[in-house]
Chains A and B, each alone.
Chain A
Amino acid sequence: MIQLLNTILIGLTSGAIYALMAMAIVLVWRSTRVINFAQAGLALASTYIGYQVFQIVDNYWIALFVAMAAGAALSAFIEIAFMRLLLKHTSSGPIASVAPIIATLGLLGIVKAIITMIWGGQDAVIKPPLSNTGFSLGSSTLVFSPMKLAIITSVAVLVLIFSLFFQKTNIGLALRASAYAPEIARLAGVKVDLVRTLGWALSGAAGAVAGLLLTSNGNGSFSPESMEFSLLLISGFIAAVIGGLDSLVGAVLGGVVLGLVTSFVLMYISGSLFFIAPFVVLLLVLFIRPQGIIGVKAGRRA
């Protein structure tokens, strides 16, 4: 019983972090129709900036806030300085659909190389701000600690803020319009370029939070080569696809589903299946419901 409960809690916590990453991917997709494979690289860069701030002020929450701002700025910068140029050059022609994927993969390589040149390849540690010691339930200990509670709460709050923001401000609509029909959007008075940059900036901030929370979910250590950051890219992406790629709610659901499935497979089948389980989940979803859990039909052929 306690094992079942703990399995669920493990899945929920990692699912929350996947969800955040999936949200970051969805935001970029919604604003520019691009999958940003450099997202995990940007999250890593923001985490390092957070680390640097943490060294100076020794306050986790300030570091988190600065990392968010830095992530937003970095991401916006890339959109303005790079993606606009790219989309202009390759808006049509045979590799139009492939170019953004390749370009963001290239960005990932550059970001990683630069991070390693600056901070070196060794592990850095940001001490988690709250205790990771689990709450007690009777005589047993739950896999749920103040830190994990904070992780889930932070994700929930961010999701709430984002959805409110989109509902109340029409930004969501503008994002979608800018991506699908930029000309019409422009005629309708939408500042397309600005809206796109905003989408990237929000995504950068979400990615930064995902990066920092990821390190705090464990012992607080990370490096440019942290396996977990490479997995963050893949898990976040799979979660986004499961959720339908176009919906924030879908991204959150996708993240939670992925977290839970992985957690259950590891607990009740075998730890050897770690890398295969997400792939199987992805294939199943794509075959049973190609438009994702929440998604518009025919969206796959975008």
Chain B
Amino acid sequence: MTRMNRRALLSASAVLAVAALTATAIPAQASEVGVSSTEIKLGITIPMTGSASPGYNKIPGAMKAYFDYLNANGGVNGRKITLKVEDDQYVPTQAVAKTNKLILQDKVMALISPLGTANNKAVAASVNPARRGIPVMFVNTGFSGFADVKKYPTTYAILPSYIMEAKIMAEYIKDNFEGKTLGLVYQDDDFGTDALKGFASSGIKFAVKVPYASGSQSAATAAGWVQKLSAAKADVVILFGVSSATATALGVAASLKYAPQWILGSVGGDATTIKTLGVPAAVLYNAVGASFAPATTDTADEYVKLFSDIYAKAYPGSAFDNNVLVGMNTAFVAAQAIKAAGNNPTRKSLLAAIDAKGASFASAALVPLNYSKTSHVGYNGYWFGKYSPTGDLKPVDGKYVLYTTDSGSGAVVKSTWKRPAMPAKGLPE
């Protein structure tokens, strides 16, 4: 028995050793890891399977569609951009394993748009891109901490933080629904508690707050939320949760003939996702929603027109929704960062380029990017609109009214920022 143990352990160790030794090392690069004379490699970790994947698993495809378009138009300084996609199933352990694979085996130059707060925290602590000097361009989470340059020197936020969103929402409510009875449904984790912080700092008082455990949203639980909301006679209700929570809440409320003024948070407000979850557009009609990008139906917008054309060619018949638009936009901003990093981009020059020129990168968003040497905050504002009878989020009267703020105690202001024109053909200049 024990003899067997030893032998098995030894032989297994030997197997491991051989496997490890025969692992091929990629030949040394000329200048920088992940950059050759013809190609630049980027990597993304994101849930492609698992309960968190619906909606988000369209993002890598959207980014690839833009990069393919870019590559067909000469790439960046003659180099094609390729995107390595790894499925982390929204599990931090997997995120660390897959990020290690991207960095150590696939040898990507930089990480792009990795998703999830807990996942990014684990990657920052374990893989430690900062210590390796690896840029993490545009993490896909609204946790405000990643904009902290001291703590995460190579990481850049892009989404407005949940705190910003709550503060701006509070301002919007003061402007439009003064004196109404307010209700809030929120996910009882950091995503929701960040929002609570934002609302509290704005002095907004809720008549009823309904927390739900992440993953517990279903027709039965949502019926409970609606009971509580209607018992408190809330006539303006904020849904600050994920899409499936928004969808079930709206569906159940409709069946209970409870019709307050809904305000949807940006994470759970993507109309396409809500509609694919079986909610009729009519139920969504007239709800208030927030976005920093132009409306996806706004084909008069030059970015929306270009991106939706590219996407339709890449994936005929697929819906062009907010996840897709934001994914393509992120790819577009990344391409400009690489371009700005010079003829022979390195990780160092890429970081320097975002710090120096990031604030002036073109982007589809209607609010500015705020990158500098001392700030890794991306977008900092939202506009509010209402969902049309067909369930598309559109600005009221066709005018985008933008609010901007910060994640601290700064005031919420109406933005007068004007988006510069799109570079020719949507390619980095």
A221 to B276, Cβ gap below 8 A? Answer: yes
A143 and B227 alpha carbons, distance in the complex (Å): 9
A221 to B220, Cβ gap below 8 A? Answer: no
A127 to B57, Cβ gap below 8 A? Answer: no
A225 to B51, Cβ gap below 8 A? Answer: yes
CB contacts (< 8 Å) of A274 on chain B: these are 212-213, 216, 221
CB contacts (< 8 Å) of B247 on chain A: these are 219, 221
Quick one: which of A101-152 are within 8 Å of B by CB?
116, 121-123, 125, 127, 131-134, 141, 143, 145
B278 to A219, Cβ gap below 8 A? Answer: yes
A271 to B210, Cβ gap below 8 A? Answer: yes
A8 and B335 alpha carbons, distance in the complex (Å): 56
A127 to B255, Cβ gap below 8 A? Answer: no
Q: Residue A193 at the B interface, CB < 8 A?
A: no
Q: Residue B342 at the A interface, CB < 8 A?
A: no
A121 to B279, Cβ gap below 8 A? Answer: no
Q: Residue A223 at the B interface, CB < 8 A?
A: yes
A231 to B278, Cβ gap below 8 A? Answer: no
Q: Please, could you name 13 A-B residue pairs with CB atoms under 8 Å apart, sorted by A?
A: A7-B224, A121-B49, A123-B278, A125-B276, A125-B278, A134-B257, A141-B256, A143-B256, A218-B252, A221-B278, A266-B221, A272-B213, A275-B215
Q: Residue A227 at the B interface, CB < 8 A?
A: yes
B220 to A271, Cβ gap below 8 A? Answer: no
Quick one: which of B220-261 are within 8 Å of A by CB?
220-221, 223-225, 227-228, 231, 244, 247-248, 251-252, 254-258
Quick one: which of B163-221 are within 8 Å of A by CB?
188, 210-213, 215-221
| From A143, A220, A223, A272, contact of B223 by CB (8 A) | A143
The range of chain B's interface size is 35 or more
Q: Residue B277 at the A interface, CB < 8 A?
A: yes
Chain B: minimal CB distance from A14 (Å) = 4
A270 to B211, Cβ gap below 8 A? Answer: yes
| From B57, B256, B276, contact of A134 by CB (8 A) | B256
Interface centre among A141, A145, A271 (most CB of B within 10 A): A271
Chain A: minimal CB distance from B323 (Å) = 12
A127 to B213, Cβ gap below 8 A? Answer: no
A225 to B53, Cβ gap below 8 A? Answer: yes
A3 to B277, Cβ gap below 8 A? Answer: no
Chain A: minimal CB distance from B230 (Å) = 9
Interface size on A, residues (CB 8 A): 43
Q: Residue A291 at the B interface, CB < 8 A?
A: no
A152 and B148 alpha carbons, distance in the complex (Å): 54
A10 and B223 alpha carbons, distance in the complex (Å): 7
Q: Assuming A10-B224, A227-B218, what are 15 further A-B pairs, CB within 8 angstroms?
A: A3-B231, A6-B227, A10-B223, A123-B54, A141-B256, A143-B223, A217-B218, A217-B219, A218-B218, A218-B219, A218-B248, A219-B279, A259-B220, A263-B220, A263-B224
Chain B: minimal CB distance from A173 (Å) = 36
Complex: chain A residue closest to B224, CB-CB? A266
A49 and B277 alpha carbons, distance in the complex (Å): 19
Chain A: minimal CB distance from B312 (Å) = 18
| From B49, B220, B225, contact of A217 by CB (8 A) | B220
Complex: chain B residue closest to A14, CB-CB? B220
A121 to B53, Cβ gap below 8 A? Answer: yes
Q: Residue A32 at the B interface, CB < 8 A?
A: no
Q: Residue A184 at the B interface, CB < 8 A?
A: no
Quick one: which of A261-282 are within 8 Å of B by CB?
262-263, 266-267, 270-275
B211 to A132, Cβ gap below 8 A? Answer: no
Chain B: minimal CB distance from A71 (Å) = 21
Chain B: minimal CB distance from A68 (Å) = 22
A6 to B223, Cβ gap below 8 A? Answer: yes
Q: Residue B50 at the A interface, CB < 8 A?
A: yes
Quick one: which of B37-66 are within 8 Å of A by CB?
48-51, 53-54, 57
A161 and B247 alpha carbons, distance in the complex (Å): 35
B257 to A133, Cβ gap below 8 A? Answer: yes
Chain A: minimal CB distance from B55 (Å) = 9
CB contacts (< 8 Å) of B258 on chain A: these are 141
CB contacts (< 8 Å) of A123 on chain B: these are 54, 276-278
Q: Residue A13 at the B interface, CB < 8 A?
A: yes
Chain B: minimal CB distance from A226 (Å) = 8
Chain A: minimal CB distance from B240 (Å) = 13
B213 to A219, Cβ gap below 8 A? Answer: no
Complex: chain B residue closest to A145, CB-CB? B255
Check A271/B278 contact, CB under 8 A, given A116-B49, A143-B227, A223-B54: no
Check A275/B213 contact, CB under 8 A, given A132-B255, A133-B254: yes
CB contacts (< 8 Å) of A259 on chain B: these are 220
Chain B: minimal CB distance from A212 (Å) = 14
CB contacts (< 8 Å) of A132 on chain B: these are 251, 254-255
Check A271/B257 contact, CB under 8 A, given A217-B219, A218-B278: no
CB contacts (< 8 Å) of A231 on chain B: these are 218
A272 to B219, Cβ gap below 8 A? Answer: no
B228 to A267, Cβ gap below 8 A? Answer: yes
Quick one: which of A249-263 are within 8 Å of B by CB?
259, 262-263
CB contacts (< 8 Å) of A228 on chain B: these are 218
Chain A: minimal CB distance from B259 (Å) = 11
A217 and B252 alpha carbons, distance in the complex (Å): 10
CB contacts (< 8 Å) of A273 on chain B: these are 213
Complex: chain B residue closest to A272, CB-CB? B188
A134 and B276 alpha carbons, distance in the complex (Å): 23
CB contacts (< 8 Å) of B51 on chain A: these are 225-227, 230
| From A125, A141, A272, contact of B211 by CB (8 A) | A272
Complex: chain B residue closest to A217, CB-CB? B219
A225 to B251, Cβ gap below 8 A? Answer: no
Complex: chain B residue closest to A17, CB-CB? B220
- Which 6 pairs from chain A and chain B are nearest by CB? A219-B278, A274-B216, A218-B219, A221-B278, A14-B220, A271-B212
Chain B: minimal CB distance from A51 (Å) = 12
A127 to B278, Cβ gap below 8 A? Answer: yes
Complex: chain A residue closest to B274, CB-CB? A219
| From B188, B218, B227, contact of A267 by CB (8 A) | B227
| From B210, B224, B277, contact of A219 by CB (8 A) | B277
A41 and B231 alpha carbons, distance in the complex (Å): 38
